[in-house]
Chains A and B, each alone.
Chain A
Amino acid sequence: MAKMIDEALIKAWEKQLERYGEDESVFFLGKKKFTKKDILEHLKKEDDIGVKIAQMSHRLTIDLLMRGKIRE
């Protein structure tokens, strides 16, 4: 099966993990609590949470592109 989640996104989360570490990297979405390490696992597994995070990341990228904050 083709990979749905871009490898670059997984690498970016690995960098976030290195940068912020586990202690300060807690992430809440609704009632659910994740560490960045959890998110990384979801991205690698490409499960529902992983796909949702990838979609959110994609929307942020589009926003930054549209506001001229990054280049394609």
Chain B
Amino acid sequence: MMLNIAHEIDEVCEYSFLWNQNLMAKLHEVPKEQLLLQNAVRSKVEATINAIAPDLIVFYDHGSESELIGADGNSCLDTDNVNLLSGREVYTMACLSAKTLGVEAWRQGCRAFWGYVEEFGFTLDDLDAFEELAGLGLLARLLQGMSWADAKKQVQDKANYLIDKAISEGNFSAAMLIRENTDALRVWDGEVPESQCSFRNFALKIFGRKRGWNILGGRTQV
């Protein structure tokens, strides 16, 4: 079961909401529950996750380093209820959320967190390319049965193709943002989060990925 969460809190989300609904139409055979528009708020997100126990959560809206933002402008998933992501997979195009929330989710048993460590950008003059790249990983995973790591590789290859196409058309601003988004894409599953902490790096070297990330305990220390 998939839980899809999307809303239109502002002008940017009007585009991402449309992308999300187009993506869901392509995934029409995948069993899903949806929390859309005003229903995309923390209380309903928490209740729905507890009620349907989704294997996969898709979130198409704004985020910050430590949260995914709901339709009321407040956090609907963050480091305080990140335990809800344990044992599940998360796919989001929200800005920045792979940076702290994704790492914390992964540490607490989230099976995979697909997201971005920088702001997600797009231009209106190459909108289709951005929509395609935002959803391609999920399609590769669900329709082609790829691993998340292979799905990411597919997105990177497609991004290179679309960058070259944008450049050949003289649209370097679109090419620049495609490059930026793709470089900011992380999937905490096949990859190990980077750490700037020398103790953490030592622990990762000695104890391996999962134990190394958990051995120092406490909140995410990247």
Interface of A toward B, CB cutoff 8 Å: 12-13, 15-16, 19-20, 24-31, 33, 36, 39, 53, 56-57, 59-60, 63-64, 67, 69
Contacts and interface: CB of A to CB of B under 8 A. Distances in A.
A13 B78 CA distance: 38
21 contacts: A16-B170, A16-B172, A16-B173, A20-B125, A20-B171, A25-B123, A26-B123, A27-B124, A27-B173, A28-B122, A28-B123, A29-B177, A30-B119, A31-B10, A39-B173, A57-B172, A57-B176, A60-B163, A60-B175, A60-B176, A64-B163
A59 B122 contact: no
B123 A63 contact: no
B88 interface: no
Interface string B166-201: 010011110111011001000000000000000000
Across the A-B interface, the 4 shortest Cβ-Cβ residue pairs: A30-B119, A29-B121, A26-B124, A60-B176
Interface string B144-176: 000000000000000010011001001111011
Q: Is the interface of A mostly helix, strand, loop or mixed?
A: helix
Contacts of A57: 172, 176
Question: Chain B, interface size: which category?
Answer: 20 to 34
Interface of B: 10-12, 15, 62, 95-96, 119-125, 160, 163-164, 167, 170-173, 175-177, 179-180, 183
Contacts of A26: 123-124
Contacts of B170: 15-16, 19
A69 B173 contact: no
Contacts of B122: 27-28
Contacts of A59: 176, 179-180, 183
Contacts of B160: 67
A64 B171 CA distance: 14
Given A16-B172, A20-B125, A36-B173, A29 B119 contact: yes
Given A12-B172, A69-B164, A56 B179 contact: yes
B176 A56 contact: yes
A28 B121 contact: yes
A33 B173 contact: no
Contacts of B10: 31
A4 B183 CA distance: 23
Nearest to A30: B119
B123 A27 contact: yes
A60 B179 contact: yes
Contacts of B95: 30-31
Contacts of A25: 123-125, 173
